[in-house]
Amino acid sequence: MALSLGSALATKVYLGATEVSLAYLGANQVYTSSAFSAEAQDYFDRLDTAGDTTYTAYKQPLANYIDSLVTLGGAYWDDMLSATSFVGVGIQGITVPLRDGMTVPTQNNFVAGDLNTLTGLLCNGSTKRISTNTDQSNYAQNDTSVSTYRTETVSGTNPFYFGTNLANGFGARGSFITACYGAQAVTGSASTTVGLLGLSRSASTGYDYRSNGTTGTRTTASVTPASGNLDIFAINGTTSGSFRLATYHAGSALDLATLEGLQDTLISEIAAI
């Protein structure tokens, strides 16, 4: 229940649009300063609307992650087109965007048993995927980044982590990353290693990719994109391989190592609770 400032019955109290903390001085209910930033509180409000209650134990790590993204701004927050967390939330929260205004993704066939609050969401390589409901046409040909964060090694020889189209698209499968309509980069043991797996193109001449905690560069010209929905745990509707992810993002080009560092912190802080 959320009531206005001054209600003796309130379990949530708002000063304007900002939630403030409740405390007691003897038998009297008093109000302290705002518990979280406006951006974090907005995310929590939308988790509430989705019916998620699991997240309440993990508010601080989630808020820290969001606040770090907000501080960086640009591609990390304002220009990010799709991003959710699969850690620190319940099954109802896996499709709640980090920022209001992002396209709301659709989850296909995941159930509560697929979700580990500390390590994320497990797909089965056949029927389970997240559709971001964004198309390649939503992403600039030479200003795009996408990533997933794996928390367990992979079962299967050719896992489809994310992608829009196998022809003139962008995505990651097996030990290969195809970035923004260019030729593939080989990422070594990417199919089995935990951590961030992603790509970022900021020029027509080549792109960066990250796997195994290392960033590489592939020199290859971009081409006109084909049509295709960006899926997570799949490539344009096609699934392969079973693996667990903690989070994902998609939007404009950014520094993948910086993003991985923030996600490392998010996962370690959640695990510490």
87-118 residue pLDDT tens: 999 999 999 999 999 999 999 999 999 999 99
Predicted confidence (pLDDT) per residue in 11-44, tens digit = 455 544 445 555 555 665 554 455 899 999 999 9
Same domain, 22 and 102: no
Are residue 259 and residue 137 in the same domain, yes or no?
Answer: yes
Please indicate, yes or no, whether residues 149 and 24 belong to a single structural domain of this protein: no
Query: Cα Rg for the chain, rounded, in angstroms?
Result: 19
Give the pLDDT confidence of 185-244 residue by residue, as tens digits.
Answer: 666 544 557 899 999 999 999 889 998 898 988 888 888 777 789 999 998 888 988 999
What is the rounded distance in angstroms from the CA atom of residue 110 to the CA atom of residue 46? 20
Determine what percent of the chain is predicted with pLDDT higher than 90: 59
Residues 24 and 63 occupy one common structural domain: no
Work out the number of other CB atoms within 10 angstroms of the CB of residue 164. 30
For residue 166, what pLDDT is reported?
A: 66
Instruction: Report pLDDT for 78.
Output: 97
Same domain, 233 and 122: yes
Does residue 215 sit in the same domain as residue 95? yes
Mean pLDDT of the chain: 85
Given a cut of 80, is residue 56 above it in pLDDT? yes
SS3 244: strand
What pLDDT is recorded for position 171?
80
Burial 186-206 (b: 16+ CB within 10 A, else e): ebeebbebbbbbbbbbbeeeb
- 105 shares its domain with 28: no
Q: What is the structure's pLDDT at 49? A: 98
Same domain, 15 and 92: no
**Do 14 and 77 lie in a common domain?**
no
Asked if 83 and 149 sit in the same domain, the reply is: yes
Range of the domain at 92: 55-271
pLDDT band for position 84 (cuts 50, 70, 90): very high
Query: How many independent structural domains does the chain possess?
Result: 2
Q: Which of 39-53, 124-138, 187-201 has the highest mean pLDDT?
A: 39-53
- The pLDDT value given to residue 259: 98
Q: Give CA separation, 184 vs 104, 179, 199, 212, in Å.
A: 29, 7, 11, 17
9 with 109, same domain: the answer is: no
**Within-domain flag for 48:** no
Name which residue leads in pLDDT, 13 or 137: 137
> Residue 167 domain-assigned?
yes
Contacts of 178 (CB under 8 A, 6+ apart): 163, 166, 169, 170, 171, 172, 184, 185, 199
Report the pLDDT averaged over residues 117-122: 98
pLDDT at residue 223, as a whole number: 80
